[in-house]
Amino acid sequence: MISPVDVANTVLVQANYFSVPVNLLKLQRTMYLLASEFSKETGGELFAEQFETWKYGPALLSVDTKWSWFKDQPITKLAHHAGEEPKAVILSKHHGLATVFARVWAATWDRSGMELSRLLCAQDSAWDKAFQADRRLIDPKDMAMDRTYCVPLGLCRT
């Protein structure tokens, strides 16, 4: 499994390269889509850390902790682990991640965090199931089965 912070850095590097502003809300929703699509693609989990069921959508505490001080502003800095330089993921070294990353980026780069939140919090989504059951964590099996966002984002695969 991969560090969520390193994957988030990878999203931010991509966003910076294409001059796409990414705030924390958009970063969190992109991370969820990466994890959900990765599980569909590979049958495995991308992160050891589970997504939490926050009021406005799925979130990783580690990602929030690293970038919460940006609030609603575009994130302009990469995060690092204690005593290390910031690092991003070399996508080609992780089976399935390069393909998933390309698909998710293509589907989300021009969408706002609010728009992604509305899609990910739809009725019967993995987030909705956890929220309705008052569970703190989203079940990874529900994430793997979550197709509620598929059609609007063009991520459906046969």
pLDDT single digits (tens) 69-125: 998 999 999 998 777 777 788 887 887 899 999 999 999 999 999 999 999 999 999
Asked if residues 112 and 104 have their Cβ atoms less than 8 Å apart, the reply is no
pLDDT in tens, 14-31: 999 999 999 999 999 999
pLDDT at residue 158, as a whole number: 54
Q: What residues contact residue 34 under an 8 Å CB cut-off, 6+ apart?
A: 7, 11, 46, 97, 100, 101, 104
Neighbours of 30 (CB within 10 A): 27
Taking 3-state DSSP, the helix, strand and coil percentages for the chain, each rounded to the nearest 5, stand at 55, 5, 45
Instruction: For tokens 């580690």, name the residue.
Output: 62
Residue 32: pLDDT over 70: yes
What sign does the CA torsion over 90, 12, 155, 62 have? Answer: positive
CA pair distance 86, 154, nearest whole angstrom: 32
Domain-wise residue ranges, the chain: 4-153
pLDDT-wise least confident of 60-64, 83-87, 123-127, 136-140: 83-87
Residue 53 has φ and ψ, to the nearest 5°, of -95, 80
